[in-house]
Amino acid sequence: MRALGNDVLDFVVDFIEARATAPAVDLDHPLPADAHDVIDYVKHAAAKAADPAGPGYLAYIPGGGLYTAALADFITAAVNRYTTVAALAPAFVAIEQQAIRWIADLFDYPPTAQGILTTGGSMANFSAIVTAREARNTRSGGGTIFVDDQTHHSVTKAAGLAGFPSDAIRVVPTDAALRLDVDALEDAIKNDKQPAIIVASAGTTNTGTVDDLDAAADVAQRHGLWFHVDAAYGGFFQLTERGRQRLHGIERADSITLDPHKGMFLPYGTGCLIVRDGNALRRAHSAGAEYLQDLPDVGLPNFAEYSPELSRAFRGLRVWLPLQMHGPDAFRQALDEKLDLARHAYDRLQATELFELPWSPELSVVAFHHPDGRRILDDVNRSGRVFLSSTTIRGRHTLRIAILSHRTHQDRVDEAVDLLEKAASEWRSE
Ligand SMILES: *Cc1c(COP(=O)(O)O)cnc(C)c1O
């Protein structure tokens, strides 16, 4: 066991050390013909990939993978405690509950709040919609969900899974800044027979735009609707002073989706939903099971009653251990750095006068246009040094730089801007 473990440890530490110089994407990586040496085969398979936590990954929303979280997962898998029912592993459940409570505290949620660690933002949005549906008692009678044209597609997917027909989803327009148009929202609600749920974004995936959450909360309050905020991408910027200002009003949400596998740099499979009224989350997800009748109440949540899952991965340790080992300040500083880097990229791109930059970055995504954006994207990505992705906004091809890997620092952002500038100048000189 020790020898195998040492092999794995060597592989992992070498892998992490290689991130600084590894290509941003390496899909041509050759695999050994057979898997004779298993660890060696895994090593090669791991290399044949895009590198979402590498310094050059500026596409989509970058991922994480802190070493301390990997250690937590190793422990979790090796000891394999059953954290679904609190009485069977109360100390581990207390650890997960502490991690959830730390997140709830970030948003000034009351002691009656409760959350759940999910596999990601999509499942958090799903449980949020189900919770709102139960709380608004709209199961049989329908009810309308209000989203906007920049809402993440997982919200409409969640609504469908939760049984809302597609005509129960009303898409409200966004304003020139790509923010939910709150006046249009209010009009749409007034013209609706059964308004039920408002979904706003704290950091859209396209541009990192944060809706006017205070204004949306006012509308929700005025009409007695459930107010959900999808903060999967942007939520943890709440740790920073600038983020807290931009996310102002989020603390009034009935429920918030977060993705620790984005803003806390944790490995994939770590999402979170927090719900202001913990009982609402429980009512929507609990169902009696006679064979659990012997288990005493240990004063901790039975997570099965708050989630669609029964048996579940213990995700608590991979959130809790890095927080304990690095401290919240390390996360705050890293996120502050990402905000600075986005501002820096925006300023530099602006100074080239080669790109059209309609939106100044609110968080860590910079979106911009160029008439030959598709070719520029190919040129830049061919370098292997950075990996960018594009999107379409209001029918226009849009390039983006999304900065969220804990390994991305100014040198690589500067390199990305240099590559973009070079590709765009070449286009212009033709
Ligand atoms: C990433 C993201 C999601 C989906 O989260 P997954 O963890 O990929 O399931 C939902 N909403 C927003 C705003 C996101 O950025």
Q: What is the pLDDT of residues 186-236, one digit of tens each?
A: 999 999 999 999 999 999 999 999 999 999 999 999 999 999 999 999 999
Do 322 and 337 have their domain in common? no
Do 342 and 235 have their domain in common? no
In a domain, 19, yes or no: no
Q: Which domain holds residue 96?
A: 72-326
Do 82 and 161 have their domain in common? yes
Interatomic CA distance for residues 208 and 175, integer angstroms: 15
Query: Residue 98: what are its φ and ψ, rounded to 5°?
Result: -60, -40
pLDDT at position 141 is 58
Residue 139 has pLDDT above 70, yes or no: no
pLDDT at position 326 is 98
Residue 233 tokens read as 């991408």
Do 153 and 249 have their domain in common? yes
Do 307 and 341 have their domain in common? no
Are 97 and 294 a contacting pair, CB within 8 Å? no
Confidence bin at 292 (pLDDT 50/70/90):
confident
Closest atom of ligand 1 to 125 CA is 10
Residue 140 has pLDDT above 70, yes or no: no
In a domain, 419, yes or no: yes
Q: What is the DSSP letter of 409?
A: -
In a domain, 130, yes or no: yes
Residue 289 has pLDDT above 80, yes or no: no
Are 324 and 317 a contacting pair, CB within 8 Å? no
Domain count along the chain: 2
C-alpha closest to that of 422 among 392, 382, 367, 390: 382
Ligand 1 probe mutation, 150, 206, 230, most atoms within 8 A of CB: 230
Q: Kindly give the distance from the C-alpha atom of residue 122 to the centroid of ligand 1, in angstroms, as a whole number.
A: 6
Are 40 and 30 a contacting pair, CB within 8 Å? no
- pLDDT tens digits, 56-86: 999 999 999 999 999 999 999 999 999 999 9
Q: Kindly give the distance from the C-alpha atom of residue 230 to the centroid of ligand 1, in angstroms, as a whole number.
A: 8
Where residue 142 sits, what CATH number does that domain have? 3.40.640.10
In a domain, 18, yes or no: no
In a domain, 368, yes or no: yes
Give one DSSP letter per residue of 355-402, joined into a string.
SB--S--SSSEEEEB-TTHHHHHHHHHHTSS-B-EEEEETTEEEEEEE
Confidence bin at 29 (pLDDT 50/70/90):
confident
- pLDDT tens digits, 329-353: 999 999 999 999 999 999 999 999 9
Residue 138 has pLDDT above 70, yes or no: no
In a domain, 41, yes or no: no
Dihedral of alpha carbons 156, 159, 165, 167, sign: negative
Do 337 and 407 have their domain in common? yes
Q: Kindly give the distance from the C-alpha atom of residue 152 to the centroid of ligand 1, in angstroms, as a whole number.
A: 7
Out of 326, 351, 367, pick the residue that ends a domain: 326
How crowded is residue 328: how many other Cβ atoms within 10 Å of its Cβ?
Answer: 12
Burial of 19: CB neighbours in 10 Å, binned 0-12, 13-18, 19+: middle
- pLDDT tens digits, 7-24: 999 999 999 999 999 999
Closest atom of ligand 1 to 203 CA is 13
Place of tokens 């903060």: 231
In a domain, 64, yes or no: no
Out of 304, 326, 348, pick the residue that ends a domain: 326
SS3 113: coil
Interatomic CA distance for residues 354 and 333, integer angstroms: 32
SS3 24: coil
Q: Kindly give the distance from the C-alpha atom of residue 203 to the centroid of ligand 1, in angstroms, as a whole number.
A: 10
Q: Kindly give the distance from the C-alpha atom of residue 321 to the centroid of ligand 1, in angstroms, as a whole number.
A: 23
The per-residue b/e assignment along 287-304, b for 16 or more CB within 10 angstroms, e otherwise, is eeeeeeeeeeeeebbbbb
Do 272 and 339 have their domain in common? no
Do 389 and 415 have their domain in common? yes
Find the mean pLDDT for residues 165-174: 96
Do 219 and 322 have their domain in common? yes
Confidence bin at 430 (pLDDT 50/70/90):
low
Task: Report residues whose beta carbon is within 6 angstroms of any ligand 1 atom.
Answer: 61, 120-122, 152, 154, 201, 205, 230, 232-233, 259, 271
Confidence bin at 262 (pLDDT 50/70/90):
very high
pLDDT at position 35 is 77
Confidence bin at 243 (pLDDT 50/70/90):
very high
Residue 278 has pLDDT above 80, yes or no: yes
Residue 304 has pLDDT above 70, yes or no: yes
In a domain, 1, yes or no: no
Do 287 and 194 have their domain in common? yes
Do 223 and 311 have their domain in common? yes
Question: Rounded mean pLDDT of the chain?
Answer: 95
pLDDT at position 374 is 97
Q: How many CA atoms lie within 13 A of 121 on its CB side?
A: 30
Where residue 388 sits, what CATH number does that domain have? 3.90.1150.170
Q: Which amino acid is at 18?
A: A
Out of 326, 341, 362, pick the residue that ends a domain: 326
Do 279 and 336 have their domain in common? no
Vertex 278: Cα angle to 276 and 280 (nearest 5) = 95
